[in-house]
A = this chain, B = another copy of it.
Amino acid sequence: MELKEFIPVWRDLTPAQQEQLASGASKRTVQKGTVIHSGSLDCTGLLLVECGQLRAYILSDEGREITLYRLLDRDICLFSASCIMRSIQFEVMITAEREATLWVIPPEVFKSVMEQSAPLANYTNEVMAGRFSDVMWLMEQIMWKSFDKRLAAFLLEESALEETPVLKITHEAIANHLGTAREVVTRMLRYFQSEGMVKLARGTVEITDAGKLQQMTCCPFHRRWLIR
């Protein structure tokens, strides 16, 4: 997949700008589990996901985590280039949840073209607005939704991403996605099991009644992905 396929405004760039991006960009493959970006001190550059799955999350001083959003095929990660905007004052971590192939555009290259090109700057605006919407969605979930609904939605989302009802995931990992403690996850999963919605085994959570889980979530199933 070529670089220009990721950038819908490619044709609105001048040949010189296209050349600047193309010659600056490089392709990189990262293994599952790799920490690609770690907060604002680390200005990795703009990431364009050719294939794979990245996870963007925040980390508390005490080491607690919460997933902000996932980046899938064709997604663009802006916050790995947060140094290009001085108003970005927060720290996002990015790791590969699966092996991924990425285009990386160095921050100074992207910034230089964005400063000249209204189409690229406006496109960047749209990308940021999309991530902002993801985070606002998450904030609404945390504020207004009870944990059982969030957990049900998470299990359904994972099952859709992994394309299987048998999720290989620990309670600890679920807790890190949802920003809570492991015990809270374990207690709720046991309740789900008693209601026949899941079946628990060592290291796996099997969804046995997706319809019932679905009913628990008030919103259409993984709306967060659908609005992209």
Interface 0/1 of A74-99, CB less than 8 Å to B? 00000000000111111000000000
Q: What residues of B have a CB within 8 angstroms of the CB of A129 in the complex?
A: 85, 87-88, 128
Cα A203 to Cα B163 in complex, Å, equals 55
Enumerate chain B residues within 8 angstroms of A88, measured Cβ to Cβ.
129, 132-133
Nearest residue (CB) in B for A119 is B115
Q: Which of B89, B128, B136, B138 contacts A125 (CB 8 A)?
A: B128
Query: Considering only CB atoms, which chain B residue lies closest to A92 in the complex?
Result: B136
- Alpha-carbon separation in the docked complex, A88 to B88 (Å): 18
Pick from A59-67, A167-175, A208-216 the stretch touching chain B.
A59-67
User: Known: A140-B58, A142-B143. Contact between A132 and B130, CB under 8 A?
Assistant: no
Q: Is A64 a contact of B122 with CB atoms below 8 Å?
A: no
Q: A121-B118, A128-B125 are in contact. Are A90 and B60 (CB under 8 A)?
A: no
Contact-residue size bin, chain A (C-beta under 8 Å from the other chain): 35 or more
How many angstroms from the CA of A90 to the CA of B136 in the assembled complex? 7
Contacts of A142 in B (CB 8 A): 139, 142-143
19 more A-B contacts (CB under 8 A) besides A116-B118, A135-B139, A142-B142? A58-B139, A58-B140, A60-B143, A64-B143, A64-B144, A66-B143, A85-B126, A86-B126, A87-B129, A87-B130, A87-B132, A89-B130, A90-B132, A114-B122, A115-B122, A121-B125, A124-B125, A128-B128, A132-B132
> Chain A interface (Cβ within 8 Å of chain B)?
58, 60-62, 64, 66, 85-90, 114-118, 120-122, 124-133, 135-140, 142-144, 179, 227
